[in-house]
Amino acid sequence: MSATARIISPIDGSIYAERPFLSEAGIDAAVSAGRRAQADWAGLSVAERGRYCRAALEALAAMQDEIIPEIAWQMGRPTRYGGENGGMQERGQYMIDIAQEALKPYIPQEKEGFRRYVRHVPLGVVMVIAPWNYPYLTAVNTIIPALMAGNSVILKHATQTLLTGERFAQAFEKAGLPKGVFQNIVLDHASTEKLLASGQIDHVNFTGSVNGGRAIEKAAAGTFMTLGLELGGKDPAYVLPDANLDNTIANLVDGAFFNSGQCCCGIERIYVHEAVFDRFVDGFVELTKQYVVGNPLDQATTLGPMAQARFADLIREQKAEALRKGAKAHLNMRVDADREGSPYIAPEVLSDVDHQMSVMREESFGPIVGIMKVRSDEDALALMNDSIYGLTASLWSVDIDRVAALGDRIETGTVFMNRCDYLDPALVWTGVKDTGKGGALSALGYANLTRPKSFHLREQI
């Protein structure tokens, strides 16, 4: 393996940035520094930790003019969308705001002669292995609450977006965070697995592929560290016959194609009641035709390249297989660079699809979506649950009771109604089946970054 991590920009195939992988001695030093710093950090009050974290978020906000084009060069998202600062601030500030209440001791019913309570104790050294698709949003989900809970944090960002880690490090330095409490490191896969197997990490949060999650579990086996794993997804939507079609179409097109479809909770398969199927498909196709594929630095571009050419080639393969099996392609849009081996690819909408096609079963993570006609809620429910994944599902209707009842039967981490592809920091972000385990955000997210410690104190007899 190369001794350096290289960002190959999807814009033009150039090397955008290159950094050396950390040596074994450097890794040991980083973990030792994190371990030493953590004890004093945990000794600070929640309010004091919050002041540092807020200052770091403010510092990141001040960098946006540099960060936005940096994201485009690293992973291809159009600059017209302005980066991730809004969502990052919302999540980070919310987790700071609720920390005092979420981390206060649990006190059971009073019992005469005893003082009893349960403290939320930090785990120690938390490692965040962050993905490239939303490099700031996904990382902040764990970094801020881990620090607020009294842990030290080591961030290992995806190679494709490794400059994000440097930005976080700069922000915490500007905030005056004590040395060793937050560290950004650059590791190859082998060194990452070795570190996890060493027993020096107390918790790891990983966002990535199912295979990556399995590798994390294997590396951590026997260490008894805790794990947070957000892995694959194949998120469905169900359009009921009473849905407001204009609103539904606008939101589902955006949910399917924003960020070139490279969203953990992006819409990858849509089930539409037969009563509104034709109107829905017609409207969905017409709106999708308005996308402009091109250089993400161009303000006219609404769909940039995928992060790597191999991701786009997978979409091409899924489309070709679906067409061989009888699917209908509604767009067949042509862009100059849309060819095998190129990260540039036009969006596609397919109908006449079924679950024998990989586009309806396997994660696409790109700008393609299959739309399938259903006759009833029961048909839709069976198809939505016919998946090895379970991150989110969205239902589109005016009947909230009907949706809530259906939602209870969907095997998923989050049920949306009349929206999709959004993380509310007040609600825990979690998944089922091969999507992973653990949870981030909300007060429940703090439970994954602390351990309970019971105090059973009896008065002198």
Q: Which two tokens stand for residue 386?
A: 């016919």
6: number of Cβ within 10 Å? 14
- Are 135 and 81 contacting, i.e. CB atoms less than 8 angstroms apart? no
| Predicted pLDDT at 339 | 86
| Predicted pLDDT at 2 | 54
What is the b/e burial string over 424-451, where b = at least 16 CB atoms within 10 angstroms of the residue's CB? ebeebbbbebbbbbbbbbbeebbbbbbe
| Predicted pLDDT at 337 | 77
pTM: predicted TM-score of the whole model, two decimal places: 0.97
Q: Torsion angle of alpha carbons 36, 42, 47, 53, nearest 10°?
A: 40
Distances (CA, A) of 381 to 237, 272, 353, 385, 405: 10, 11, 17, 6, 11
Fold annotation for 4-231+435-458: Aldehyde Dehydrogenase; Chain A, domain 1 (3.40.605)
- Are 393 and 237 contacting, i.e. CB atoms less than 8 angstroms apart? yes
What is the location of CATH 3.40.605.10 in the chain?
A: 4-231+435-458
Q: What's the rounded Cα separation, in Å, for the pair 193 and 128?
A: 13
User: Helix (H) and strand (E) counts for the chain?
Assistant: 14, 19
| Predicted pLDDT at 1 | 43
Q: Does the annotation mark 230 as catalytic?
A: yes
Amino acid at 167: R
Residue with tokens 């291809």: 76
Element (H, E) at 92: helix 85-102
DSSP 8-state class, residue 460: P
Q: Angle between the 135-148 and 162-174 helix axes, to the nearest 10 degrees?
A: 40
Distances (CA, A) of 210 to 21, 188, 214, 215, 271: 24, 18, 6, 9, 25
Close Cβ partners of 367 (under 8 Å, ≥ 6 residues apart): 256, 257, 260, 261, 303, 306, 315, 345, 346, 347, 348
Show pLDDT as tens, one digit a residue, over the chain (461 residues): 459 999 999 999 999 999 999 999 999 999 999 999 999 999 999 999 999 999 999 999 999 999 999 999 999 999 999 999 999 999 999 999 999 999 999 999 999 999 999 999 999 999 999 999 999 999 999 999 999 999 999 999 999 999 999 999 999 999 999 999 999 999 999 999 999 999 999 999 999 999 999 999 999 999 999 999 999 999 999 999 999 999 999 999 999 999 999 999 999 999 999 999 999 999 999 999 999 999 999 999 999 999 999 999 999 999 999 999 999 999 999 887 778 899 999 999 999 999 999 999 999 999 999 999 999 999 999 999 999 999 999 999 999 999 999 999 999 999 999 999 899 999 999 999 999 999 999 999 999 999 999 999 999 87
What is the b/e burial string over 50-60, where b = at least 16 CB atoms within 10 angstroms of the residue's CB? bebbbbbbebb
Which one is the CATH code of 235-417: 1.10.510.10, 3.40.309.10, 3.40.50.1470, 2.160.10.10?
3.40.309.10
What is the location of CATH 3.40.309.10 in the chain?
A: 235-417
- Are 299 and 79 contacting, i.e. CB atoms less than 8 angstroms apart? yes
* Cα angle for residues 391, 397, 399 (degrees, 5° grid): 110
Residue with tokens 């407001």: 244
> Which residue among 84, 230, 268, 363 is the active-site one?
230
